[in-house]
């Protein structure tokens, strides 16, 4: 068990804060037109994400096992249909899929530690920064090398049974990450793109909203909070019984949102000040941030530290992607943690090669419409599996678990708090997901 509630906050925040905040949030905000997307994303985090995160923690703490076995136990105890255990299995698969490309992008961050330290970005122009990134992406061997290195680091840490060892890392890197984001936002304020960047992120225009924007915002809310695949449920199994779930989840969601908004506020002013394209896609952070550090005094130092921190943030997230699967395999087959970690990691690494190639050799290979291999795996996991998993988790916690169990876990003592929970988790969260699915299917 975590020695205290704070350890859980650190681990869950370590899972939540990652590439989703610093890399993905700005780039999909850019692709989806800015302000309207940000507002819908924030609403999804608060109204759907927070209740579902509470549901994951409470189910995890009630079962105190891997998500699959926790769901088996819950189904037995409360005489529910065994079909609910699918939540656990789908989560294992979603974690596997996400990990496969997550380590590819995390590999880019690793490479950038090196590139920043070598001073390659000092005083470069926007197009030059873009060209450095494009050259890097065009080389499958380079991408494969960094993908492999990052996957090896992840496997090494999870094989050793990690969670505790990471505590120190998280305790140090999180505050530092905040400081560096602050430096970057401070820099962004001084550029002449700030007003435009701010406006881009926060000006709401209805005409920008389509059913698909809402689906992407919802998927992003799930992704950034690590929801819908049992990662938080797996960590929830170690939360001490006396910790307040609502308070803890609130802190995690707040920290996570602050990092995402901070990253956006740092990146968009730089985009506009340098005449770059906000909708340029996955390269956004890898072009703008080095550009900013390249223009700053002490930029080589700060920039290197920044990418070290991003890599740390990514590894604490990558670990949580594998946790539901590894916890289950260890529990069920009494397998050695190291052995299952290597098997899971190698398989996911192998699938990741498809994502590596989708930026170069397979760039013209399309699936599900216009999507590259990378976009396809990303879309299916983030925009389909996570919301679906989250919806099922909310329905389970809202309707299948008895009120007494939920009330005791959440410390709901009054009738109205019980009703509020039922409405949020049992009705609004699942309906929200359903509405978004329906909307995007209908186009
Ligand atoms: N939340 C992490 C990020 O923002 C990624 C992540 C870790 C994740 N664990 C997850 C996403 C579980 C979905 C489900 O980078």
Minimum-distance ligand 1 atom for the alpha carbon of 382: 13
Measured from the CB, is residue 226 less than 6 Å from ligand 1?
yes
What is residue 151's predicted lDDT score, i.e. its pLDDT? Answer: 98
pLDDT at 229 over 80: yes
Q: What is the pLDDT of residue 3?
A: 66
Look at 40-44, 106-110, 295-299 and tell me which has the smallest mean pLDDT: 295-299
CB atoms within 10 A of CB 123: 10
Is residue 258's pLDDT more than 80?
yes
How many distinct structural domains can be found in the chain? Answer: 1
Average pLDDT value for residue range 152-166:
80
Q: Of 42-56, 156-170, 320-334, give the lowest mean pLDDT range.
A: 156-170
Q: Which residue has the higher pLDDT, 353 or 243?
A: 353
For the Cβ of 21 lying below 6 angstroms from any atom of ligand 1, the answer is yes
| 3-state class (DSSP) for residue 371 | strand
Q: Are 17 and 256 in contact (CB under 8 A)?
A: yes
Place 136 in a pLDDT band, splitting at 50, 70 and 90.
very high
pLDDT by residue (tens digit) across 11-53? 899 999 999 999 999 999 999 999 999 999 999 999 999 999 9
pLDDT in tens, 369-407: 899 999 999 999 999 999 999 999 999 999 999 999 999
Domain that holds residue 162: 5-442
pLDDT over 90, % of the chain: 85
- Measured in whole angstroms, the distance separating CA 164 from the mean position of its chain's CA atoms is 21
3-state secondary structure of 367: strand
Q: Is the CB of 425 under 6 A from ligand 1?
A: no
Atom of ligand 1 nearest to the CA of 19: 15
The verdict on the CB of residue 260 being under 6 Å from ligand 1 is no
The CATH number of residue 102's host domain is 1.20.1740
Kindly state the average pLDDT of the residues 321-338: 95
The conformational region for residue 48 under phi > 0 = left, psi -120 to 50 = alpha, else beta, is alpha
* pLDDT for residue 91: 97
Question: Does ligand 1 lie within 6 Å of residue 15's CB atom?
Answer: yes
Q: Is the CB of 223 under 6 A from ligand 1?
A: yes
Rounded Cα distance, 314 and 317, in Å: 5
- The answer to whether residue 164 scores a pLDDT higher than 70 is no
Whether residue 23 contacts residue 266, with contact meaning beta carbons closer than 8 Å, is answered with no
Quick one: which atom of ligand 1 is closest to the CA of 225? 1
Partners of 371 in beta bridges: 367
- Per the listing, tokens 């496997």 go with 155
Which has more confidence, 245 or 208? 245
- State if residue 231 touches ligand 1 by the CB under 6 angstroms criterion: yes
Cα–Cα dist 341/47, whole Å: 35
| Cα–Cα distance, 388 to 430 (Å, whole number) | 9
Distance 339 CA to ligand 1 centre (A): 23
User: Percent of the chain having pLDDT more than 70?
Assistant: 98
Give strand pairing partners of 367: 371
Q: What's phi and psi for 294, nearest 5 deg?
A: -65, -25
Per-residue pLDDT, 4: 75
**For residues 330-334, average pLDDT:** 94
How many CA atoms lie within 13 Å of 85's alpha carbon, on the beta-carbon side? 16
pLDDT at 10: 86
Q: What is the pLDDT of residues 193-213, one digit of tens each?
A: 999 999 999 999 888 889 989
Residue 382 burial by CB count (10 A; 0-12/13-18/19+): exposed, middle or buried? buried
How much distance in Å is there from the Cα of 382 to the middle of ligand 1?
A: 9
- The pLDDT value recorded for residue 6 is 82
- DSSP string covering 227-289, please? -SSSHHHHHHTTS-TTS-HHHHHHHHHHHHHHHHHHHHHHHHHHHHHTT--TT--TTHHHHHH
What pLDDT sits at residue 193?
96
Q: How far is the CA of 190 from the centre of ligand 1 (A)?
A: 32
In contact, 59 and 233? CB cutoff 8 Å: yes
- Answer yes or no: is the C-beta of 9 below 6 A from any ligand 1 atom: no
- Rounded to the nearest whole angstrom, what is the distance from the C-alpha of residue 228 to the centroid of ligand 1? 10
**How many angstroms does the Cα of residue 413 sit away from the middle of ligand 1?**
32
The DSSP 8-state label assigned to residue 207 in this structure reads: G
Give me the pLDDT at residue 411, please: 92
Q: Which of 145, 153, 144, 155 is closest to 353 using CA atoms?
A: 144
pLDDT average, residue stretch 301-313: 94
pLDDT digits (tens, 9 = 90+) for 89-107: 999 999 999 999 999 999 9
pLDDT at residue number 133: 97
Which tokens in the block code for residue 249?
Answer: 């989840």
Residue of 317, 327, 389 to mutate, ligand 1, most atoms within 8 A of C-beta = 317
Q: Ligand 1: which of 87, 225, 320, 326 to mutate, judged by most atoms within 8 Å of the beta carbon?
A: 320
DSSP for 152-196 reads HHHHHHHHTTTHHHHHHHHHHHHHHHHHHHHHHHHHHHHSTTHHH
What's the mean pLDDT when you consider all of the chain? 94
Q: Give pLDDT, residue 2.
A: 66
- Ligand 1 centroid–CA 15 distance in Å is 6
Per-residue confidence band for 173, with pLDDT thresholds at 50, 70 and 90: confident
* Residue tagged 């996400």 (tokens): 98
């Amino acid at each position: 068990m975590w020695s205290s509630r704070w350890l859980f906050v650190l681990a869950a925040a370590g899972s939540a804060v990652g590439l989703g905040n610093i890399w993905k949030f700005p780039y999909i905000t850019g692709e989806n037109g800015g302000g309207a997307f940000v507002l819908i994303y924030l609403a999804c985090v608060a109204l759907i994400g927070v209740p579902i995160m509470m549901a994951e923690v409470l189910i995890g703490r009630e079962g105190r096992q891997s998500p699959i076995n926790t769901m088996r136990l819950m189904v037995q105890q409360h005489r529910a249909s065994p079909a609910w255990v699918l939540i656990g299995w789908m989560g294992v698969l979603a974690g596997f899929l996400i990990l496969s490309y997550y380590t590819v992008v995390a590999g880019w961050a690793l490479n950038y530690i090196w590139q920043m330290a070598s001073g390659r970005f000092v005083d470069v122009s926007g197009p030059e920064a873009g060209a450095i990134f494009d050259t890097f992406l065009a080389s499958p061997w380079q991408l494969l090398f960094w993908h492999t290195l990052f996957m090896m680091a992840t496997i090494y840490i999870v094989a050793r049974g990690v969670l505790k060892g990471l505590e120190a890392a998280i305790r140090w890197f999180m505050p530092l990450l905040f400081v560096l984001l602050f430096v970057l936002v401070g820099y962004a304020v001084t550029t002449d793109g700030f007003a435009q960047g701010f406006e881009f992120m926060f000006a709401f225009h209805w005409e920008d909203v389509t059913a698909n924007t809402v689906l992407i915002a919802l998927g992003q809310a799930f992704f950034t909070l690590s929801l819908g695949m049992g990662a938080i449920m797996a960590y929830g199994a170690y939360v001490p019984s006396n910790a307040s779930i609502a308070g803890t989840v609130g802190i995690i969601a707040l920290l996570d949102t602050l990092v995402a908004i901070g990253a956006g506020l740092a990146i968009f002013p730089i985009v506009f000040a340098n005449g770059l394209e906000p909708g340029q896609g996955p390269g956004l952070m890898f072009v703008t941030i080095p550009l900013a550090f390249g223009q700053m005094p002490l930029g080589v130092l700060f920039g290197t530290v920044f990418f070290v921190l991003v890599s740390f943030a990514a590894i604490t997230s990558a670990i949580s992607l594998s946790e539901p699967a590894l916890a289950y395999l260890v529990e069920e087959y009494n397998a050695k943690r190291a052995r299952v970690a290597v098997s899971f990691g190698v398989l996911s690494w192998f699938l990741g090669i498809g994502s590596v190639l989708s930026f170069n050799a397979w760039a013209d290979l399309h699936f599900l419409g216009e999507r590259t291999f990378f976009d396809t795996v990303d879309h299916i996991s983030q925009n389909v599996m996570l919301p679906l998993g989250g919806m099922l988790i909310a329905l389970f916690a809202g309707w299948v678990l008895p009120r007494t169990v939920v009330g005791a876990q959440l410390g709901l003592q009054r009738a109205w708090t019980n009703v509020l929970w039922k409405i949020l988790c049992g009705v609004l969260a699942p309906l929200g997901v359903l509405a978004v699915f329906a909307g995007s299917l209908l186009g």
